[in-house]
Chain A
Amino acid sequence: MNWVIQNLGFISSLLTDHIVFSLVPVVIGLVIAVPLGWLANRAGFGRAVVVNLAGLLYTVPSLALFVFLPVILGTGILDPVNVIVALSVYTVALLVRTVADALEAVPPLLVDAATAMGFKPFRRFVAAELPVSVPVILAGVRVAAVSSISLVTVGSVIGFGGLGQMFTDGFQRSITAEVVAGIVLVVALALIVDGILLLIGRALTPWDRAARAVAKGATA
């Protein structure tokens, strides 16, 4: 505990880095995964290709991906950009399938109703299919965010990893308190972000709240 109090400045700068470097990839990944998932759901053949490719990418161990990306990107091997791109790749790999599954589960009746009301395909997707898919997509985003927060720390092995530097620093200088504090902070950050995403999901799906209230009233 003493160690934490004496190093609050160091910890808070690592924490800021950690939040940026774990959550920016989730946003990038989501923005890429939604159109890809839409495409995968549209084209039957494309679906198998996209889902299998995503599964393959998700198989590659994080440290290996951090080190290998510079070959493709032309970046320096110790460039933090590699970590951001690698985590974005994992997010896309995870979410493409989630988005495709979520869109597939949209009731055809709802799509027909939107069409009957004169919605053009793009507006129908944005105003009807996507909002209804929010709960499933959000479940995927929560998994991606928590994984990303935990995976950033691996980057500290190659010199960049936000709070993960508390692990490598604590290891080299044999300060167990630093390692324990790092683990606690990473898990706490993951839980907080997970909780915030849960609340965002509720705010985005007011109709679910109504359904929950009805269900509650029925059981009471």
Chain B
Amino acid sequence: MNFLGWLFDPAHWSGSGSIPQRLVEHIGYTALTMLIAIVIAVPLGAWIGHTGKGGFLVVGSANGLRALPTLGVLILLVQWTGLGLLGPLIALVLLAVPPVLAGTYAGVRNVDASVVDAARGMGMRGRDVLFGVELPNALPLIIGGIRSSVLQVISTATIAAYVGLDGLGRYIIDGLSIRDFPQMIGGSILVALLAVVADLVLAGLQKLLVSPGLQTAGTGRRVRAVATRPTDTAAQAA
């Protein structure tokens, strides 16, 4: 199948519906969704982790999300709100919140109790402890949750082309409707590349943002906490 020919055809690299335009759309949807999801999930997860109230809800929502069929949720929301950006965006945010929430909650919750005690011993108040100690220590798991969410959103935004959203998914859906298989395969390669690159960029960001003390600590536990995503830990706990 001549999908390489489709991918490298100069006609597909400029103008309306070109690969750069679809790529920017796809990244735009993902960025907008993640912005909203982070604004909702990080404060909520931090509060629940800090106070310890309602933790079972967080773990439940992250586990329950796996069972929820994304295509069904997308179609249901589009049927309620009509075609356009709003329905898919609500669906994407809905799917993006639980992993970030679970990551933030688990991160704040798992901060070494002796570290929190030491902070209190130094005279830090609740707010200082949360922002100065708990959140920086929770950062590896928070970013881990964001990584899971970003992958979920890139994947679901692709499927959302079925309900009329733009982005790279258009090539797969439009290609299917006219039986243009090279276009479909070319589109699927672009989506896969975007997901892999996004994950690598976030992994790099994780290295950059997380305090070096948390990355190079001698104990295996810390190192593993950095590598483990909250979805994995949720799986172990389930």
Contacts and interface: CB of A to CB of B under 8 A. Distances in A.
A203 to B, nearest CB: 18
Interface residues of B, number: 39
A179 B187 CA distance: 27
B79 A174 contact: yes
A68 B76 CA distance: 27
Interface stretch (B47-55, B117-125, B169-177): B169-177
A56 B196 contact: yes
Q: Is the interface of B mostly helix, strand, loop or mixed?
A: helix
B32 to A, nearest CB: 18
Contact of B191 (A63, A157, A179): A63
Which of A68, A71, A168, A191 has the most chain B CB atoms closer than 10 A to its own CB? A68
A164 B159 CA distance: 13
Interface in B109-168: 151, 154-155, 158-159, 162-163
Interface string A125-159: 00000000000100110110011011001101110
B69 A153 contact: yes
B199 to A, nearest CB: 5
Contact of A154 (B67, B71, B154, B189): B71
B192 A164 contact: no
Nearest to B196: A59
Nearest to A174: B79
Contact of A183 (B72, B158, B173): B72
A211 interface: no
Most buried by A among B66, B151, B191, B235: B66
A186 B151 contact: no
Nearest to B73: A183
Contact of A63 (B68, B155, B181): B155
Nearest to A171: B75
B235 A64 contact: no
* Most interface-central of A66, A146, A156, A174 (chain B CB within 10 A): A146
Contact of A190 (B1, B67, B79, B188): B67
Nearest to A189: B67
Q: Could you say which interface size class chain A belongs to? A: 35 or more
B79 A63 contact: no
Contacts of A153: 69-72
Interface of A: 56, 59-68, 70-71, 77, 98, 136, 139-140, 142-143, 146-147, 149-150, 153-154, 156-158, 161, 163-164, 166-168, 170-171, 174, 176, 179-180, 182-183, 186-187, 190-191, 194
Given A62-B159, A63-B188, A179-B75, 6 more contacts: A61-B192, A65-B192, A170-B75, A174-B79, A176-B76, A187-B68
Q: When A and B form their complex, which 7 residue pairs have the shortest distance between CB atoms, in order from nearest?
A: A61-B155, A190-B67, A64-B188, A67-B188, A183-B72, A64-B191, A153-B69
Interface of B: 1, 3, 66-73, 75-76, 78-79, 151, 154-155, 158-159, 162-163, 169, 172-173, 176, 181, 184-185, 187-189, 191-192, 195-196, 199, 235-236, 238
19 contacts: A59-B196, A67-B184, A68-B192, A71-B1, A77-B181, A77-B185, A142-B235, A142-B238, A146-B66, A147-B66, A149-B67, A156-B71, A161-B71, A166-B72, A167-B71, A171-B162, A179-B75, A183-B69, A186-B68
